[in-house]
């Protein structure tokens, strides 16, 4: 089985091929994707009140007004 594709294999001497991950691509996934847990959770980003956040323009451009299920 070929493993070259995975590329992320940690070796310090073997960085992932290709350009570094762009922050906006990362935030697409970390603010919209990822498993959302409920219950005895203290907090997740979904709970943060964005109204008072200077970055809200940035974050809303990624998540939209209502972070929604697709």
Q: Which residues of 46-69 are buried (b: 16+ CB within 10 A; e: fewer)?
A: eeeeeeeeeeeeebeeebeeeeee
Q: Give me the residues that bind another protein (CB under 8 A), please.
A: 1-2, 4-10, 16, 21-49, 52-55, 57-59, 61-64, 67-70
The least CB distance from residue 28 to another protein, in Å, is 5
Min dist CB 40 to another protein, Å, is 5
- The CA angle 35-16-59, to the nearest 5 degrees, is 40
Q: How far is the CB of 23 from another protein (least distance, A)?
A: 5
């Amino acid at each position: 089985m070929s493993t070259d594709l995975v590329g992320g294999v940690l070796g310090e001497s073997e960085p992932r091929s290709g350009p570094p991950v762009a922050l906006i691509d990362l935030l697409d996934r970390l603010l919209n994707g990822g498993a959302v847990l409920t219950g005895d959770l203290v907090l997740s980003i979904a709970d943060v009140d964005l109204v008072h956040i200077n970055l809200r323009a940035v974050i809303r451009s990624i998540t939209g007004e209502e972070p929604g299920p697709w």
